[in-house]
Chains A and B, each alone.
Chain A
């Protein structure tokens, strides 16, 4: 095949071309470009004028990006910088409507930007983009103050919904699986898609209200273009923030639909103990002994709980 001559420079002021003749050269170029993309945009959604070491970003861009007759190297790189942030902020905007509703869009965008600056995506799928958001809110509460505890609870709950939506499942336990197993020795695993949460706010009801008009959606874009910043919230009227209240929640799926189920404290205690690998008998005994409730028929109550949990398919056998 006929090959064209190298097309290194279009104007006389172009810097010397750094060749890409090896995988390490390629890595260096890609690191530079990725660094440019990962840097937050200015308040006016533009690329930062100064590079990490104080050099003008236009000089850094000119070192590896060709200008054309309409756009400088800086402007061409800026297109990618903007698309990166618009795409990722849009994803968090869609995946965390509860945190967004608590903070408001502007403050949420600040939180998301700080989060993505500290924790760049380490997964091939944007589904995992928020997997460390709750951790970040705890680490840097200034982004959510004075609602850091509420925002943390909500982020935890919304991530649990992601896990419940498409997380793995194991074969559900049926009665025959338990034949011949002594009750004292019986251990059961919880389904991997099931999250047990101890929360300080009733974020479940709040989230239902916030999402009432929003539909869950997969990200199906194969286009590599995003051309606008995350849109402002379209909520017609603000949903009242939840009151402080201790809530135990199971976030799970049933028939492939995601649900949140409130739990009694003892239910939460039994299930979390079983999740740690304790036997069913030990988990129940500890929870009952530590309970302040004295007027319950524990045999019937615990049996009912297990009937419900089993019907919901929450248990699988250990390997």
Chain B
């Protein structure tokens, strides 16, 4: 649902990711944007230019934090230093909710800097949910976990990805950042019906939606965030909106980044589907 406990009962519209090549344009032109998503780790620094830019953005815009390195699915404990810095940033941005990925990426204190898929087992779901709850207790802000795109599956998995996601968020009582493009990418890589995924998650827990572009290779699809959103993903987005309502939506564009206006224009295409939903309801 658009405003719920998992996004701090906000009703945000369409946002875009705050990226370095757009800083100058945004600070000078102050374009109308409903909200910006920042990569938390880029601003979990102790000083200097990143925080100066962030403070200027915060004066004008609503900002939501999106992380890439909590690694709820790692067998390691939560990194206390990381959480401490993250909480400091939460206080600075006043983000109404915070998201990170349902994945792992570090083990024994060594970091891969990737968003790696997890084995979908009940024991792993329980462990992951406990880490999400612990992080939320420290950060004191609602958490949404994002489904990642993946290129491999484990023999050890006992359930589908959407079952695992549902199990984790129910156990943790947290929200979902539903990445429609990631579902599409994984559905092609693992041969499942992406609409089964969309239809079988707890819709009331979706606090935010991601859309993005991807790249097709001969034998698999990569989640590259370097293209406009492709038609099959827009269709899935339209279906998702029917299921979860006009939820805060963000376009990710991280590589070969075009002008700010091009990115914003692409993001605003989502309005067509959101308006259809309003008209139908």
Contacts and interface: CB of A to CB of B under 8 A. Distances in A.
Contacts of A38: 110, 112
| Interface size, A (range) | 35 or more
B82 A124 contact: yes
B190 interface: yes
A225 B112 CA distance: 13
A31 B108 contact: yes
Interface string A122-133: 111111000000
B219 A71 contact: yes
A218 interface: yes
B28 interface: no
Interface stretch (A18-26, A49-57, A95-103, A146-154): A18-26
Contacts of B167: 1
| Interface size, B (range) | 35 or more
Given A23-B75, A30-B104, A34-B112, A223 B152 contact: no
A24 B110 CA distance: 17
A125 B49 contact: no
A18 B116 CA distance: 19
Interface stretch (B89-97, B117-125, B237-245, B271-279): B117-125
A27 B200 CA distance: 29
Given A26-B123, A30-B104, A121-B113, A256 B224 contact: no
Given A23-B123, A122-B109, A80 B114 contact: yes
What does DSSP make chain A's interface, helix, strand, loop or mixed?
loop
B12 interface: no
Contact of A222 (B66, B112, B121, B154): B66
A224 interface: yes
B266 interface: no
Contacts of A220: 17-20, 39, 42, 254
24 contacts: A8-B155, A17-B156, A27-B108, A29-B154, A30-B104, A31-B108, A65-B152, A66-B155, A68-B189, A123-B111, A124-B69, A124-B106, A164-B48, A165-B49, A168-B47, A169-B46, A193-B47, A219-B42, A220-B42, A222-B225, A223-B212, A223-B226, A223-B252, A257-B49
Interface of A: 1, 3-4, 6-9, 14-15, 17-27, 29-31, 33-34, 37-38, 63-66, 68-71, 73, 75-77, 79-80, 83-84, 87-88, 120-127, 164-169, 192-193, 217-225, 227, 253, 256-257
